[in-house]
Amino acid sequence: MPIRFSFRSLLIAVAVLTLSVASFAQIEISVNIAPPELPVYEQPVCPGDGYIWTPGYWAWDGDDYYWVPGTWVMAPQPGYFWTPGYWGWGGNSYIFHQGYWGPQVGFYGGINYGYGYFGHGYEGGRWDNGHFFYNRSVNNVNVTEIHNVYNTTVVNNYNRPRVSYNGGNGGVNARPTSDDERVARERRLPPVAAQTQHMDAARSNPAFRVSANHGNPPVAATPRPAAFNGRGVVPAKEGGHYSAEARPDNNAGRPQVHPKDLPPAAHAAPPNTGNPKMDQKYQQQQQKMNAKQDQERQKLQRQQDQEHQKMAQRQANDAQKQQVEQLHQQQTQQMEQKHAQQQQKMQSHQQPHQQPHQQPHENDKPGNGGH
């Protein structure tokens, strides 16, 4: 009986872990303003064997960015690496993709976080027989306490650029490779409890908000999670670029999550090719396309309204609501992109006929001595 109970408990624990991993991977945060540049800071000394460096990043708390200091975190199990989270442009807003633990380092937006995370992969260390070996060329390690070290020179371009997001206007131009996509499908673990506590402590500190520090956080990195005071705490050497005028107020710059949030559809001007019959034909085609697009907007809005009603009936929690809203935003963005492509195709089809067609003069025809 005890063995059966223990085995059943293990199955339940595995199921709970699987559900937690699946739910964490789907939750994303979207913002309409780009995060500031990454500040420059020194890495604190590694506190002990088995700790992995997790770089600092800008997080969002509803109305403001706040800095989550870089810190050393004990790996959840031997052989696991940390893939940092990153901000990426999603078409209408910046979306944060949560970091995770796994056997390999996956895609993190091409962001140059430094200290081994130079945009792709991780060059700060490796696992060997259950022990983590640190690359001293990119890590601050006390060799009198930690002996599993090695030296491999790595080109470090950390100081420039310090862009903190992927895609969009001015973002890092990087896309996941086939290997990155494969890693994303492999087993992975969410941030450990120490990382969650670290982020919560940073969010509750007003000095870490960008509106207070203007991109130059007073604590840029710490030797251990949530340890923002005392020995080893590192301030920023140089802050990231930040413009207070760019911050949205509480009513402006709301995410375009649903079709009703989109501006009115832009309809092309009546064509003028010089051929009245052709103009009438093109205008009829445009009106037909515009009517179909309006119907698709209304249909998608009705579908999303029904899903909202179902969530209210089920009394969904905040995490479930956030997942649905993220799905709605993706649906709305895909529809808007589809409509824009249809409009461009329609215009390109009409463009060659915008000017009346003129027959060449008899003397200009090839073979008749034309120029």
Q: Is the pLDDT of residue 20 over 70?
A: no
Nearest Cα to Cα of residue 164 among 33, 67, 59, 37: 37
The CA-based angle 83-43-30, given to 5 degrees, is 40
**Encoding tokens for residue 22?**
């699946």
Side chain identity at residue 302, one-letter code: R
Structure tokens at 316: 């969904």
Q: Is the pLDDT of residue 8 over 70?
A: no
In order of 76, 176, 308, the CA distances from 189 in angstroms are: 8, 20, 30
How do beta strands 117-118 and 112-114 pair?
antiparallel
- Which of 61, 66, 108 has the alpha carbon at shortest distance from 87? 108
| Residue 351 banded pLDDT, cuts 50, 70, 90 | low
Alpha-carbon distances, residue 122 vs 114, 117, 272 (angstroms)? 10, 5, 57
> What local confidence, expressed as pLDDT, does residue 170 receive?
83
Of the pLDDT bands very low, low, confident and very high (cuts 50, 70, 90), residue 257 is low
Say whether pLDDT at 160 is over 70: no
For 204-237, letters b (16+ CB in 10 Å) and e give ebeebbbeebebbbebbbbbbbbbbeeeebbebe
Q: What is the pLDDT of residue 71?
A: 98
DSSP secondary structure letters along 322-369: HHHHHHHHHHHHHHHHHHHHHHHHHHHHHGGGSS---PPPGGGSTTTT
Per residue in 59-85, pLDDT tens?
998 889 999 999 999 999 999 999 999
State residue 366's pLDDT score.
38
pLDDT for the residue numbered 65: 95
Alpha helices in the chain (DSSP H): 2-26, 178-185, 193-203, 210-213, 276-314, 318-350
pLDDT of residue 242: 57
pLDDT tens column, 305-340: 898 888 888 887 877 777 788 788 878 878 877 887
Confidence of residue 198 (pLDDT cuts 50, 70, 90): very high
CA dihedral 217, 221, 226, 230 (to 10 degrees): -90
Angstrom distance (rounded) from CA 320 to CA 324: 6
The 10s digit of each residue's pLDDT in 283-299 is 888 888 888 988 998 89
Asked whether the beta carbons of 251 and 304 are under 8 A apart, the reply is: no
User: Which pair of tokens denotes residue 298?
Assistant: 């209304």
Mean pLDDT of the chain: 79
Confidence at residue 156, expressed as pLDDT on a 0 to 100 scale: 61
Lowest mean pLDDT across 136-150, 173-187, 261-275: 261-275
Return the pLDDT at 92. Answer: 79
Each residue of 91-129: pLDDT tens digit?
778 999 999 999 999 999 999 999 999 999 999 999 999
Q: What confidence tier does 259 reach under pLDDT thresholds 50, 70, 90?
A: confident
Return the top range by mean pLDDT from 42-56, 280-294, 324-338, 353-367. 42-56
Q: Is the pLDDT of residue 17 over 80?
A: no
Query: pLDDT tier at 270 (50, 70, 90 boundaries)?
Result: low
Q: What is the pLDDT of residue 349?
A: 65
**pLDDT above 80 for 28:** no
Report yes or no: 228 and 69 within 8 Å, Cβ to Cβ: yes
pLDDT of residue 271: 66
| 31: nearest Cα among 58, 68, 67 | 58
The pLDDT-based confidence of 279 (bands split at 50, 70, 90) is: confident
